Structure 1
Amino acid sequence: MMRIVTYMLVLSLVPYFGFGQNKITGKIVDQLGFPVYRAAVEINATDSITYTDYDGSFTLSSEKDFHWKINISSKGYKPESFFVLSGGNTGNIVLEYDADIKKLLDGSSSLHQKFYWDSWNKAILFPKSEDLLASTSVFLN
């Protein structure tokens, strides 16, 4: 009889533990649709934080039942806030590149000029014919 009471007591507590945690899931991608690795995802005004995996996916747990505000940040991207409704699935959240990365991608930075295709094309891939003749004569002699 004591065992039955103990089992009933344990079974009656299971719903409290099972429903105490609500999950927020989603995926963080960049403007091109590529996953963002190691982006920080946190529930606003809490200590609950996680990081995206190699696929850009994340899972957060919360005691709160619905309507979360999450903050997302990652180096090279503008910080983003996102409201999650009940159900907890955000789908894909797109992070926008920050000013430095945009500058690099649109070709207006000095770094881009150093690696610009035309300069490689002229100097390395298609050298001047006299340079070619000089280098081949060294091997022929």
Structure 2
Amino acid sequence: MRLVTYMLVLCIVPYFGLGQNKITGKVVDQLGFPVYRASVEINGTDIVTYTDYDGSFLLNSEKDFHWKINIKSKGYKPESFFVLSGGNAGNIVLEYDADIKKLLDGSSSLHQKFYWDSWNEAILFPRSENLLASVFSLSN
């Protein structure tokens, strides 16, 4: 009787994993850094997941041949990608959108507020003559 039970269990176990196909991959930016919390969805379905701190994702699907996935994240251009059977998408590179490119190139107004090279040198590093004059005027 035990042998029959074991055989039944062994025959049923493969059917539990048969209906689920896994799609895995990693989302990175143009510099090779992982993109955290990018949404990854299977096109035409409501199956959505988000990348982890390492940029990795895992999707489960009923479909078993190939998938079209859509990747979106703030600051990047949306990307569509085809995944063939096997379910490994590998590294998916997202391009920066126009606003982030402007910021990185230094042509944005934010660049002037946050980078040292654009600050007024007279405020941060006063000339030595002015500094000496102010020190001597304080001492008198």
Q: Distance in 2 between matches of 1:123 and 1:75?
A: 37
Could you tell me which residue of structure 1 aligns to residue 38 of structure 2?
39
Could you tell me which residue of structure 2 aligns to residue 114 of structure 1?
113
CA RMSD, 1 decimal: 2.1
Q: Is the 8 A contact 2:113 2:119 kept in 1?
A: no
C-alpha deviation, 1:12, in angstroms? 1.8
Off by >6 Å, runs of 4+ in structure 1:
none
SS at match of 2:26: strand
1:20 to 2:19 alignment: yes
Could you tell me which residue of structure 1 aligns to residue 97 of structure 2?
98
C-alpha deviation, 1:70, in angstroms? 0.4
C-alpha deviation, 1:138, in angstroms? 7.0
C-alpha deviation, 1:8, in angstroms? 3.2
Instruction: Give the TM-score of the pair, scaled to structure 2.
Output: 0.86
SS at match of 2:103: helix
Identity of aligned residues (%): 85
C-alpha deviation, 1:103, in angstroms? 1.3
Q: Distance in 2 between matches of 1:135 and 1:28?
A: 55
Deviations 1:2-36 (A, max 9, x none): x5544433322111112221111111011111110
C-alpha deviation, 1:88, in angstroms? 0.9
Q: Distance in 2 between matches of 1:51 and 1:116?
A: 32
Gap regions ≥5 residues in structure 2: none
C-alpha deviation, 1:44, in angstroms? 0.9
C-alpha deviation, 1:136, in angstroms? 3.6
Q: Distance in 2 between matches of 1:18 and 1:99?
A: 43
Number of aligned positions between the proteins:
140
Give 2:29's aligned amino acid. Answer: D
Could you tell me which residue of structure 1 aligns to residue 82 of structure 2?
83
Instruction: Give the TM-score of the pair, scaled to structure 1.
Output: 0.86
Q: Distance in 2 between matches of 1:140 and 1:34?
A: 54
Give 2:28's aligned amino acid. Answer: V
Gap regions ≥5 residues in structure 1: none
Q: Which moved more, 1:66-75 or 1:116-125?
A: 116-125
